[in-house]
Amino acid sequence: MTPNDILRSIRYILNVNDQEMATIANLAGANIDAKLIDQFLKLEDDPLFKKCPDVVFSQFLNGLIYHKRGKDESRPALVPENTVSNNLVLKKLRIAFNLKDDEMIQTLKKAGQDITKSQLSALFRSSSHVNFCECGDQFLRCLLKGLAPKTSAPKK
């Protein structure tokens, strides 16, 4: 999945506007505005579309962690990564939404993805580990789909 696709999904999950998305990104030092977020959220065929760089996307994910869990001043600030993989996105979403193994399994099951605890743990291992498993786009889509009804408040 592209960072732009994931940003669109997260915006839907959080049920926020462009300004709030920019505020979340800026919690981790992104220094972007709502206009740039709007360009990131546009569809690829729109002339105003702009591809979200990995480092900015990483800052957004770090900001999401701060937004959902709070910033612990006693710990060092989260450093943005230059390259973002699906496994990293999965890890950061897990941290941000404070998901335990059982909650992730249930969230994925709601979206039609069955997984065992051992299969799930393989996604969070170091890429050099013998039991590491790469997170595919479809798996990440299922997690985002499963998170949407859990965290989105119904619009009144």
Q: How far apart are CA 89 and CA 140, in angstroms?
A: 8
Q: What is the pLDDT of residues 90-131, one digit of tens each?
A: 999 999 999 999 999 999 998 889 999 999 999 999 999 999
What is the reported pLDDT for 77? 87
Q: Is the pLDDT of residue 3 over 60?
A: yes
Which pLDDT tens digit goes with each residue over 11-26? 999 999 999 999 999 9
Region 72-92 average pLDDT: 92
Band the pLDDT of 156: cuts 50, 70, 90. Answer: very low
* Interatomic CA distance for residues 83 and 89, integer angstroms: 11
